[in-house]
Structure 1
Amino acid sequence: MRRRPARVLSLLTALGAVGALTAAAGPGTAPATGSAEPPPKSPVAVGNGGAVSSVDPDASAAGIEVLRRGGNAVDAAVATAAALGVTEPYSAGVGGGGYFVYYDAGSGRVHTLDGRERAPLSAGEDLFLEDGEPIPFADAVTSGLSVGTPGTPATWEEALDAWGSTSLRTALRPAERLARDGFTVDETFRDQTAANEDRFRDFPASAELFLPGGELPEVGSTLRNPDLARTYQRLGREGADAMYEGELARDVVRTVRTPPVAPDAEREVRAGDLRMADLRDYGVRDQKPTRIGYRGLDVYGMAPSSSGGTTVGEALNILERYEGGDGARADAGAGGSAGERERLHRYIEASRIAFADRGRWVGDPEHADVPTRGLLSQRYADSRGCLIQDDKALTSPLAPGDPRHPEDCGDGGKAAPLTYEGESTTHLTTADKWGNVVSYTLTIEQTGGSGITVPDRGFLLNNELTDFSFAPADPDVPDPNLPGPGKRPRSSMSPTIALENGEPAFALGSPGGSTIITTVLQTVLNHVDRGMPLHEAIAAPRASQRNTEQTELEPGLWDSPVRAELEALGHSFKANPEIGAATGVQRLDDGRWLAAAEKTRRGGGSARVLDPSDS
């Protein structure tokens, strides 16, 4: 029998809450997409036949529809992602990119696709410099300069061709219908639109789509996107090549090179240098995942250009040295707990150390020497973990170590600053009746991306290139994340799959910019070390330390007595109302799936299973 965190087994008998939540989600077979009334939300569902979890009920329903028709986890992931491009257009869409992690039940192997956006082939290290100085960040965001070559359509097609059971055309049909018929605007969508209102008004295509009649969309109204429906039709008919060659590609290039700004706009919108050659040259990378062992689990993640797999992995390796890591040992229940103060202290310090190394070493491995193996070695983690003292906090910025030449408690020079990453990202997780699992994080970067909608195409363009360092923090310290021709900017996206004895134990991921890494790390620790069922591990209050002076705390920890205890050790905190918005799936010992999503963050998520059960 596969080992599970102790509290997971109690889930099978504590059916009051789970049964009620599952019932609230409604039957998994109920049709949902294409209607003005969205399906109900639930943060947890348990059952058979496969599972889908995302931030949005229409998107999760699209994935369930594909599973109901006999599709597998990959088919469902693409369908869910495409639907998120309709209902979460400020977070994801065909104008962006992402990272796709897949467990193949037939072979027992984990595969990954790097669908990250790329800089134009003409880009140099001075991409965001004028007169030798970095341009204002906000100016870079809302510009053609920030737009990287989109990777999402190519990722969908690559995944379906390699592991799917259906065509891109079939996988896109639920989202095409949803875009044509419309979805119901909720408070989160209206708030995000309001935050972008000034930007959208400067771009006629964005204003026409997201400010119908010149006004913010009302909560409860139906928003339709017939242009995106036609774009999905074209992609289904012509394949992903439609984004990289031909009429649609020319529209993307034209929009980047000559941003369509309103005549009365006062905003200076810089043009980008994206060309047809950049789109034609784009390719998804099929690469090996990162892999580390933790408490008997094999934890797989995304290798660079994402920093998610290396940073989560290094932190887990550091915490492996402790009995029970950040708390009680997974197979020891609640006994042996080091206490909440020690647990949070060690988690914060491990994250601080891993982020120090991330900033110095991680970038696009095709353009920089990234010591991935060294960063993930237990020897290196032990050499860095010796910095942690149980009676005193470290201070940031902490200098990195050198994974090429590990020295106990050594450092490798000056600390690199934390670069800003937009939080407008989304994550979905799917599983099927055959045991295949997908963990997929996708994004357009900032909330609303660049703010620029491709006219008549129905989607926003990304601003992913602002994830690059605009200039070296120190001319004497190499920066692996400076812009370059065809280079992928460093990302924090951390889609993760954990196996036990070669079989899926759980999978998860989150949006949230650089807080993605800490959200995934803390959720893994909650689940594995504290024995929380996955939905409880996701709901628990979060802390995020990213080698910055202060650690961010959600209200559940900010208002807790443990804050004062940690401050007595030297920790400094600031409040953050909401960190991340995770989704995941967990395989229970009886073979059923538990789908898990947020209970309240981002308005709550949508966990669905194909065939719900109560026992």
Structure 2
Amino acid sequence: MSRRFVVRSSAAAGALALVLAGSVAASPAGASTAGSHQPPRVPTSVGYGGAVSSLDPVVSEVGLRVLRQGGNATDAAVAMAAAIGVTDPYSAGIGGGGFFVHYDASTGEVETIDGRETAPAGAGPDTFVDPATGRPYPFYPDLVTGGVSVGVPGTPATWDRALERWGTTTLRQALRPATAVAEQGFVVDQLFHDQTLANQARFEAITSTTELFLPDGEAPAVGSVFRNPDLAATYRALAAGGVEAFYEGELAHEIADAVQAPPVAAGTSLPVPAGSMTPADLAAYEVVDRDPTVFSYRGYDVYGMAPPASGGTTVGEALNILEQFDLESLDDAAARHHFFEASALAFADRAAYLGDGDFVDVPVDGLLDDTFAKERVCLLDPQAAAPKPVAPGDARSYDGVCDGAPASGTVPEDTESTSTTNLTAVDKWGDVVEYTLTIEQIGGSGIVVPGRGFLLNNELTDFSIAYDADDPNRIEAGKRPRSSMAPTIVLQDGSPVLALGSPGGSNIISAVSQMLVNRIDLGMTIQEAIAAPRAAPQNGTRTTAEQAYVDAYGTALTAYGHTLVPTANAIGAATAIEIGPDGLLTAVAEPTRLGGGSARVVRPAGQ
């Protein structure tokens, strides 16, 4: 049994074995039409006996089969995550990392696993400085493509630890469905095709990536079948050798080689800077069992991910500020004005304090303290937007008393990508998993490990690019970059009632906060809360918003002093499961964002 972990909280372990009879593939060989022989893309399902939600119908089908064959929520989540590495390789995979949040129905506890990537031992103040020029690398294209931005992956170790703590199956068995999908192929949809085209210049700079994702020099056509036998073989190697097959031995050396000497295509004009990762960095990697963040909001206990994730504290602080107001009694524009202002205050504190808590002192208790929220709410004018950016508060010394006019702050550069993916699972025993995972940029670092079928992350770009010794998010050897991921589980009277999460970089915080406010304060169903248009207020002079949001609220919010900037990009792409009376499950995925997700239940209501 692997022991590649560090304990920061109590641990539990699964004991039963599950044989996953059968496998799942999106389509048989030779399918030629998009949608042929594919599982359904269902945005909402209601029923009993367990449920799953993801952004991909193949992934949700994998999870559903695991639950129907007797697996629990953790078994399903790991199998789904492995399938994501096949069908959505540009968002997540074994070359990346993430955060796993689990509710155990037998103990009533919420526990988490931090599988975030780490900076290699060779990382330091000059990591993002071009040695040829002595100046920082340009963010694009230099830092986003190449080995210099690759962090030590945490995803395989996360799967192993989750199954060890809570699963009823082995990693070998959990990988079987995804291995079948990789071997047999899946039908290419418009999103996969478009994301390949968007990355074509980067992918063409790396020979191994071109071979996998640009066969014959073209992006896979919509409706064609995409197979990844190299990834299938890699999954079989992990199944046979466990996670040690990834972090030690031949594969670890191949990963390090790809980072230190990326397989650059002859004649490429793109810089592809090398990194410093060694096999020793991979061998030293450990996931961390962390205590979750938790705060109370209008009678609910909301659990999230602790630093290096900033989602748990920033969502929590924003909602603690909003709890000082009766949002339900306000009109639409006023409620959203309050949300914008609370978000700005919380983002100011995120920038000031958030980093890897194993390296810097993050005042988590202060940021989530209601007294601190009362002090911050003094700066929220119900009638007008405060000049931006607002300054951070003092989360280490506060008394809840207003202390003068708001000060002006600064907004640090935020380079966190809007890629990533999310999944949700609930089983018939009442266990709940919310899991957000990523390789950072859409397409990660652009480097496919030769012959292995997976992309490496470019997660180190989540550190502050300009090094500042006082910055809590400065890069350091072994440190985990700050993340906005916010996998969230909500309890009421000790029982889970909702689990949700989203991709979207720093917009994750806005998306998750809005969905909670929509559901708890504004009277929306969970389906409506996810489908509703979104904005991404942070702490700047302008707020990005989806066009439908601008159309609905732009004029009214302008009167408060807000400037909305429409974006054609989706703000988040959520999955959620609500647990109702008598175990009724409402599984929900995006109806339209990123083409729509897929939510499935084991036993639909009425059957």
What's the TM-score bracket when you normalise by the shorter of the two chains? over 0.9
Q: Is contact 2:116-2:154 (8 Å) kept?
A: yes
Q: Is contact 1:418-1:548 (8 Å) kept?
A: no
Q: Is contact 2:389-2:540 (8 Å) kept?
A: yes
The equivalent residue for 2:527 is 535
Amino acid at match of 2:151: G
- Alpha-carbon deviation of 1:548? 1.6
The equivalent residue for 2:472 is 480
Matched, 1:159 2:162: yes
Deviations 1:314-348 (A, max 9, x none): 0110011112xxx32xxxxxxxx311011100011
Among candidates 423, 434, 438, match of residue 433 of structure 2: 438
Question: Residues of 2 paired with 1:275 and 1:31: CA distance?
Answer: 36
Question: Residues of 2 paired with 1:222 and 1:614: CA distance?
Answer: 36
Scaled by the length of structure 2, the TM-score of the pair is 0.92
Q: Superposition RMSD on alpha carbons, in Å? A: 1.6
Question: Residues of 2 paired with 1:49 and 1:114: CA distance?
Answer: 28
Give 3-state SS (helix, strand or coil) of 1:559's partner. helix
Amino acid at match of 1:134: P
Question: Residues of 2 paired with 1:180 and 1:533: CA distance?
Answer: 40
Matched, 1:116 2:110: no
Q: Is contact 1:182-1:223 (8 Å) kept?
A: yes
Matched, 1:78 2:78: yes
Matched, 1:96 2:96: yes
Matched, 1:269 2:277: no
Q: Is contact 1:402-1:412 (8 Å) kept?
A: no
Which segment is superposed worse, 515-524 or 122-131?
122-131
The equivalent residue for 1:10 is none
CA spacing shift, 1:370–1:260, aligned 2, 3 Å: same
Q: Is contact 1:400-1:415 (8 Å) kept?
A: no
Among candidates 554, 572, 594, match of residue 586 of structure 2: 594
Matched, 1:575 2:566: yes
The equivalent residue for 2:10 is none
The equivalent residue for 2:557 is 566
Amino acid at match of 1:532: M
Q: Is contact 2:413-2:464 (8 Å) kept?
A: no
Question: Residues of 1 paired with 2:450 and 2:489: CA distance?
Answer: 38
- Alpha-carbon deviation of 1:266? 2.0
CA spacing shift, 1:461–1:31, aligned 2, 3 Å: closer
Give 3-state SS (helix, strand or coil) of 1:441's partner. strand
Matched, 1:236 2:228: no
Among candidates 135, 138, 142, match of residue 137 of structure 2: 135
Determine what percentage of the aligned residue pairs are the same residue. 55
Amino acid at match of 1:124: G
Among candidates 200, 203, 207, match of residue 200 of structure 1: 203
Deviations 1:287-329 (A, max 9, x none): 1000000011000000000000000000110011112xxx32x
Q: Is contact 2:23-2:177 (8 Å) kept?
A: no
Q: Is contact 2:23-2:180 (8 Å) kept?
A: no
Matched, 1:508 2:500: yes
- Alpha-carbon deviation of 1:134? 2.2
Q: Is contact 1:34-1:177 (8 Å) kept?
A: no
- Alpha-carbon deviation of 1:378? 0.7
Deviations 1:78-137 (A, max 9, x none): 000000000000000000000000000000000001100000112112211245532100
Name the count of aligned residue pairs.
572
- Alpha-carbon deviation of 1:534? 1.2
Question: Residues of 1 paired with 2:65 and 2:113: CA distance?
Answer: 24
Deviations 1:475-518 (A, max 9, x none): 6x821001001110000000000001111110000000100000
The equivalent residue for 1:15 is none
Q: Is contact 1:401-1:412 (8 Å) kept?
A: no
The equivalent residue for 1:460 is 455
The equivalent residue for 1:496 is 488
CA spacing shift, 1:418–1:519, aligned 2, 3 Å: farther
Deviations 1:225-275 (A, max 9, x none): 000001111111111111110111111001000000111212221110001
Amino acid at match of 2:46: V
The equivalent residue for 1:331 is none
Q: Is contact 2:292-2:305 (8 Å) kept?
A: yes
The equivalent residue for 1:415 is 410
Deviations 1:190-238 (A, max 9, x none): 1100000111111111111111222111101000000000111111111
Q: Is contact 1:360-1:416 (8 Å) kept?
A: no
Deviations 1:143-187 (A, max 9, x none): 101000000000000000000000001111000000000000000
Unaligned runs of 5+ in 2: 1-20, 29-36
Scaled by the length of structure 1, the TM-score of the pair is 0.91
Give 3-state SS (helix, strand or coil) of 1:531's partner. coil
Amino acid at match of 1:569: Y
Matched, 1:364 2:356: yes
Q: Is contact 1:32-1:38 (8 Å) kept?
A: no
- Alpha-carbon deviation of 1:408? 2.7
Amino acid at match of 2:136: P
Which segment is superposed worse, 275-284 or 597-606?
275-284
Question: Residues of 1 paired with 2:457 and 2:149: CA distance?
Answer: 7
Amino acid at match of 1:466: T
Matched, 1:255 2:246: no
Q: Is contact 1:359-1:418 (8 Å) kept?
A: no
Give 3-state SS (helix, strand or coil) of 1:112's partner. strand
Matched, 1:383 2:383: no
The equivalent residue for 1:317 is 320
CA spacing shift, 1:107–1:416, aligned 2, 3 Å: same
Q: Is contact 1:147-1:463 (8 Å) kept?
A: yes
Which segment is superposed worse, 410-419 or 256-265?
410-419
Deviations 1:421-478 (A, max 9, x none): 1112000000000000000000000000001100000000000000010115xx6x82
Amino acid at match of 1:459: F
Amino acid at match of 1:388: L
Question: Residues of 2 paired with 1:310 and 1:170: CA distance?
Answer: 36
Give 3-state SS (helix, strand or coil) of 2:439's partner. strand
Q: Is contact 1:387-1:409 (8 Å) kept?
A: no
Amino acid at match of 2:168: S
- Alpha-carbon deviation of 1:40? 1.2
Among candidates 494, 503, 513, match of residue 521 of structure 1: 513
Alignment of 1:387-398 (within 5 A): 387-398=379-390
Question: Residues of 2 paired with 1:81 and 1:409: CA distance?
Answer: 48
Give 3-state SS (helix, strand or coil) of 1:568's partner. helix
Which segment is superposed worse, 509-518 or 234-243?
234-243
Question: Residues of 1 paired with 2:134 and 2:265: CA distance?
Answer: 30
Deviations 1:268-287 (A, max 9, x none): 21110001111111100101
Q: Is contact 1:371-1:403 (8 Å) kept?
A: yes
Amino acid at match of 2:88: E
CA spacing shift, 1:481–1:375, aligned 2, 3 Å: same
Amino acid at match of 1:421: E
- Alpha-carbon deviation of 1:532? 1.7
Give 3-state SS (helix, strand or coil) of 2:359's partner. coil
Matched, 1:469 2:464: yes
CA spacing shift, 1:225–1:30, aligned 2, 3 Å: closer
Question: Residues of 1 paired with 2:264 and 2:335: CA distance?
Answer: 51
Q: Is contact 1:401-1:413 (8 Å) kept?
A: no
Amino acid at match of 2:422: H
CA spacing shift, 1:549–1:414, aligned 2, 3 Å: closer
Q: Is contact 2:305-2:311 (8 Å) kept?
A: yes
Amino acid at match of 1:444: I
Question: Residues of 2 paired with 1:503 and 1:260: CA distance?
Answer: 51
Question: Residues of 1 paired with 2:271 and 2:44: CA distance?
Answer: 46
Among candidates 171, 176, 182, match of residue 174 of structure 2: 171
